[in-house]
A = this chain, B = another copy of it.
Amino acid sequence: MSGVTLLDEPFDLDADRLKEECGVFGILGHEDASALTALGLHALQHRGQEAAGIVTFDRDQFRAERHLGLVGDHFSNADTINRLSGRAAIGHVRYSTSGEPVLRNVQPLFAELEGGGIAICHNGHFTNAMTLRKQLIMDGAICQSTSDSEVVLQLLARSREKKIVDRFIDAIRQMEGAYALVALTAKKLIGARDPLGIRPLVLGDLNGAPVLASETCALDIIGATFIREVENGEVIVCTPGGIESFFPFGKRPARPDIFEYVYFSRPDSVLGGRSVYDVRKKFGRELARESTVDADVVVPVPDSGVPAAIGYSQESGIPFELGIIRNHYVGRTFIEPTQAIRTLGVKLKHSANRSQIEGKRVVLVDDSLVRGTTSVKIVQMIREAGAREVHFRLSSPPIKHSDYYGIDTPVREKLLAAKYNLDEMKSYIGADSLAFLSIDGIYRAMGFDGRNNAAPQFTDHCFTGDYPTPLTDLSEDHDMARPPRLVEVQ
């Protein structure tokens, strides 16, 4: 074969998005616990597509299944659901940030402690995990996975406390970072959210059975009622007898991650009392106000740019059109190409809808700009389809800093906005004009006058560099604390 290949996909519009690491779900006291957990995880699939796992507790035994792949591929058949018997379950979807995906890293993780078994999974990242791991290994612990969750388990196992909840609190008191944790013991479903509430976690109810989930869309799919968000720094312990709350870190103001609104959460989820779809439309409206342009058509970068583009269109009065068409039949192969051959712009996942672009001045709306590699290609595609002008608009501020709280960001040097000023970015991308939503604009869209720099309402370090927790691991030498030097193929 000479010049054409099917395998590479240089034009995946999703190739340059930030990736969330995980989603969590738990339910206690329902006869269909595993089926409901599978459904909840399916609704959270956008938070992690690499692997999924479910652990249930049935009478005197925990039951686990963990698979690489989508929830629907492995947890949708009756056999699996029947094997996962029991009236309590927790589950996890995972996106891997590094290394080869291996099954031993798929959560929930499980340990048999002196007082009984416990399964645990989390969304987020512990910023002192490697430091703690190093200490644990020196103390004779054997760490089998490379997952941060295992550090929590090891701390739990070594805690001198007697009760499992006390052990749990003992363990998370030693952890720093951003997390939503869900754990299951023989009698309890436990949830915990980091002291600032950076990662989301909500509490629901299904006919009396308490439900924990990363987002409200996972409650909706099973018909559960939304009760409230788990508070920042709260440890919530569900038993058949009721729900108890602990605040081991005391109470302080929350700082949820603004990026959940920008990109991660599903548009139909409600977060902090706000419809995510509505917030995104408001980002688009605010952007239209800040960066007006004379144009013929507003075209979203599918799919995540759509709500902001609708908002932009409604505010500006410029018609909204689907100028880019998504091919729904992109099989698995294109997601995991087996070899990387260069192609000349073959567009497997998207194509330009020439009739809406040719001869027109196009406002192209996307949610955020990371490395810019995809934006270059999309602007080129729009130009090739005959656009007269291309005005690129981003419904969030420039990303200038890496994340350390469970989001897979490139190293700082690869972030376009960390390298270039606005004009350089415009040239790099090849647009006729380029504009971002301002940092105050994003806070205005959230209902504030602007960012409260003295006590910021949200975690927004990717835009501002203001990290709200210590980053212990970054300042240490972690040669020994690295994940085990074992390359494993199942």
A-to-B contact residues, CB < 8 Å: 1-7, 31-32, 35-36, 38-39, 42-43, 45-46, 49, 55, 60-67, 69-73, 75-78, 80-83, 103-104, 110-114, 117, 137-138, 140-144, 150, 153-154, 157-159, 217, 220-223, 266-268, 270, 275, 277-278, 303, 306-307, 310, 314, 319-322, 325, 327-334, 337-339, 341, 344-348, 351-356, 480, 484-490
- B-side contacts of A42, CB under 8 Å: 6, 327, 329, 348
Given the interface pairs A112-B485, A345-B223, A355-B270, the reply to whether A36 lies near B4 with Cβ below 8 Å is yes
Residues B484 and A142 in contact, CB atoms below 8 Å apart: no
- B-side contacts of A60, CB under 8 Å: 485
User: How many copies of this protein are present in the complex?
Assistant: 4
Residues B266 and A62 in contact, CB atoms below 8 Å apart: no
Smallest Cβ-Cβ distance to A158: which chain B residue: B140
Residues A32 and B4 in contact, CB atoms below 8 Å apart: yes
- B-side contacts of A307, CB under 8 Å: 322
Given the interface pairs A140-B157, A275-B354, A325-B268, the reply to whether A485 lies near B221 with Cβ below 8 Å is no
Residue of B329, B345, B347 near A49 (CB, 8 A) is B329
Residues B351 and A221 in contact, CB atoms below 8 Å apart: yes
Residues B76 and A268 in contact, CB atoms below 8 Å apart: no
Smallest Cβ-Cβ distance to A157: which chain B residue: B140
Residues B66 and A490 in contact, CB atoms below 8 Å apart: yes
Residues A73 and B333 in contact, CB atoms below 8 Å apart: yes
Given the interface pairs A76-B7, A157-B141, A268-B354, the reply to whether A81 lies near B1 with Cβ below 8 Å is yes
* Interface hub of A32, A138, A150 (most chain B Cβ within 10 A): A32
Residue of B36, B64, B70, B338 near A487 (CB, 8 A) is B64
Nearest-neighbour CB distance to chain B for A442, whole angstroms, equals: 19
- B-side contacts of A114, CB under 8 Å: 137-138, 480
Residue of B81, B328, B333 near A6 (CB, 8 A) is B81
In the complex, 13 of the A-B residue pairs with CB atoms within 8 angstroms, ordered by the A residue number, are A1-B81, A6-B42, A39-B346, A45-B329, A72-B330, A78-B339, A111-B484, A221-B346, A221-B348, A222-B346, A267-B353, A277-B322, A310-B321
Nearest-neighbour CB distance to chain B for A321, whole angstroms, equals: 7
Given the interface pairs A43-B327, A486-B117, the reply to whether A278 lies near B144 with Cβ below 8 Å is no
Roughly how many angstroms separate A221 CA and B354 CA in the complex, as a whole number? Answer: 13
Roughly how many angstroms separate A288 CA and B345 CA in the complex, as a whole number? Answer: 39
- B-side contacts of A322, CB under 8 Å: 267, 277, 306-307, 310
- B-side contacts of A39, CB under 8 Å: 4, 6, 346, 348
Smallest Cβ-Cβ distance to A80: which chain B residue: B489
Given the interface pairs A6-B42, A7-B78, A46-B329, the reply to whether A486 lies near B277 with Cβ below 8 Å is no
Nearest-neighbour CB distance to chain B for A303, whole angstroms, equals: 7
Roughly how many angstroms separate A103 CA and B354 CA in the complex, as a whole number? Answer: 37
Residues B112 and A62 in contact, CB atoms below 8 Å apart: no
Given the interface pairs A112-B485, A142-B154, the reply to whether A78 lies near B267 with Cβ below 8 Å is no
Roughly how many angstroms separate A65 CA and B486 CA in the complex, as a whole number? Answer: 10
Residues B110 and A137 in contact, CB atoms below 8 Å apart: no
- B-side contacts of A77, CB under 8 Å: 6-7, 333, 338-339
